[in-house]
Copies of this chain bind each other. A is one copy, B any other.
Amino acid sequence: MQSFDTIILGGGPGGTTAARILARAGKSVALVEKNHLGGTCLNCGCIPTKMLLGAVAPLALLHAQQRIRVAKGEIAVDFAALQTRVSRFTKGTSQTLGKSLASLGVMLFSGRGEAIAPGTIRVHAADGHTDIKAQHVILACGSSSASFPGLTPDHDCVLDSTDLLGIASVPESLVIIGAGAIGLELGDFFSAMGSKVTIVEAAPHIAPLEDADVAAELRRALQKNGITCHEGARAKDLRTVNGQAQLTLDDGTVITAAKALVAVGRTPNTGGLQAEQLGCKLNKRGYVETDTFLEAAPNIYAVGDVNGRVLLAHAAEHQGAYVAERILGQRPEEYQSGPVPSCVYGGMEVMRVGQTADTLLREGKNVKVSQAALSLNPIAQASGGTAGFVKTVWSDGRIAGIAAVGAGVSHLVMVALLLIKEGYTEQNLHEIMFAHPTLDEIVSMSILAPRARVEQN
């Protein structure tokens, strides 16, 4: 049986980051991936959606200038050409990633991994199986689109995000169930391409992880662009009927559209993994439980979506790097994520670092909020995208979170993160010379704005 220092299950951002670091340090590494290297992020998640949104970005900017009567014009996006470009880019990047790992000495196994004994993994490939073993195992197998009874993609008119990303033409109409980042971004893109888009969210508001005021501002922008939002609306049944997607809500409302997208969350890829054979425990939702060192069992680590901590590519990457360096003996300390950034991209964007006011209030904390409107910022004025705001959430005199909604606010996420991480407040912000004019100045204004106490509603 082939033996390695480390076996990594899953070739997404977490697994490939760990593989690169370990291989560079001279460790023997096996990387097992059942689909394409790069994982959900590269192949059917963050990257293809950003490529799609990049193609319609000139449209959003043009519309903003049109609204202020400074420019007019027509832009036609060639959907087929765009699909070809996206697919070439993701395939090419995946192949480059494979070559680069191989050149570092990483042994790539194409197949599905199954734990059969402590330190021993069976790789099921099309042509049979191989058993390999290692001193360390990193579980980095990610997650997949979740589905629920009555909300299961049939891959005909009821699609998951992978189906929709691979669709041959722009559907005349599209109903999206789930208004998290995936649903919102794909809704924005297809709306810009001419689909009549309806978004249905079971939670009280779209962008359910954000504060209600952020979601409300986003909803206003979506509705202005012709997107219909149903909030607090539970989907009861979704199926293909006569070549159309037919969605029935709990209250009996029926919505039909050419296609439906189910984007109701993610589920960990732990089915068939037999993680218990490695000594791991799964929680009720199927995620691998980890300790403060991201260890799931002695010498067994879990990073990224599969541990259920933060389902974001950059969290996986960050955890993968930590675990690899820990295996190399370089990271004796507990895993610290630091502030976690997140974004929803598109014509109207959302970004957040740290906690929302709602979360803190639910935890019984004292919460104050200071905010600044994007309309006060000359760069926002120049782009014509002045709707939205930046919101600083304070608890006990410290910044607990910074969130923003508006055109281009994803560009603010790393500045917000660094300001929080380094403990800036109104007291020491003068140490930083904010470049003028930049969109970033609105973050500074939001920190310095008068604070208002908020109460749970």
Q: Which A residues fall within an 8 A CB radius of B?
A: 13, 41, 46-47, 50-51, 53-55, 57-58, 61-62, 65, 68-78, 81-82, 85, 89, 312-315, 317-318, 321-322, 325, 336-343, 378-379, 381-384, 410-411, 413-415, 417-419, 421-422, 430-440
**Chain B residues in 8 Å Cβ range of A342:** 435
Q: Which chain B residues border A384 with CB–CB below 8 Å?
A: 54
Q: Cβ of A74 and Cβ of B73 under 8 Å apart?
A: yes
8 Å CB contact of A343 from B62, B312, B435: B435
Interface centre among A76, A337, A430 (most CB of B within 10 A): A430
Residues of B within 8 A of A337 (CB): 433
Partner of A70 from the list B77, B417, B422 (CB cut-off 8 Å) is B77
Q: A74 to B62: give the CA distance in the assembly, Å.
A: 10
Once the chains are docked, how many angstroms separate the CA of A55 from the CA of B309?
Answer: 43
Q: Which residues of B contact A57 (CB under 8 A)?
A: 61, 382-383
Decide yes or no: A382 and B50 within 8 Å by CB, A72-B75, A76-B73, A81-B69 being known contacts: yes
B62 touches A58 (CB 8 A): yes
A431 adjacent to B71 (CB under 8 Å): no
- Copy tally for this chain in the complex stands at 2
CA distance A384 to B85 in the complex (A): 11
A417 CB contact (under 8 Å) in B65, B317, B433: B433
Q: What's the dominant secondary structure at chain A's contact region?
A: helix
B433 contacts A314, C-beta separation under 8 Å:
yes
A321 and B75 contacting across the interface, CB-CB below 8 Å: no
* Complex-state Cα separation, A78 to B69, whole angstroms: 8
Between A77, A421, A435, the greatest number of chain B beta carbons within 10 A of the residue's beta carbon is seen for A435
Q: A85-B68, A314-B436, A438-B343 are in contact. Are A379 and B50 (CB under 8 A)?
A: yes
Bound-complex Cα distance A435 to B339 (A) = 11
CA distance A433 to B315 in the complex (A): 7
Contact A70 B41 (CB under 8 A): no
Q: How far is A105 from B265 in the complex, measured between Cα atoms in Å?
A: 55
**Residue from B51, B417, B422, B440 in contact with A381 in the complex, judged by beta carbons closer than 8 Å:** B51
Tell me the complex Cα distance, A434–B46, Å: 14
21 contacts between A and B (CB under 8 A): A41-B436, A51-B381, A55-B382, A58-B65, A68-B85, A69-B78, A69-B85, A70-B81, A70-B85, A75-B75, A312-B436, A313-B437, A314-B435, A322-B430, A338-B433, A339-B433, A410-B438, A413-B440, A417-B433, A418-B422, A418-B432
Query: How distant is the Cα of A50 from the Cα of B436 in the complex, in angstroms?
Result: 11
Query: Within the complex, which residue of B81, B315, B338 is in contact with A431, where a contact is CB–CB below 8 Å?
Result: B338
Task: Report whether A340 and B76 are in contact in the complex, using a CB–CB cutoff of 8 Å.
Answer: no
Nearest to A310 among chain B residues (CB) is B433
Query: In whole angstroms, how far apart are the Cα atoms of A117 and B308 in the complex?
Result: 72
Tell me, rounded to whole Å, the shortest Cβ–Cβ distance linking A63 to chain B: 9
Task: Please report the C-alpha to C-alpha distance between residue A312 and residue B82 in the assembled complex, in whole angstroms.
Answer: 41
A78–chain B nearest beta-carbon distance, Å: 6
Complex: A321 Cα to B430 Cα, angstroms: 8
Given A76-B72, A417-B432, A430-B322, also A437-B50 (CB < 8 A): yes
**A433 → B minimal CB distance (Å):** 5
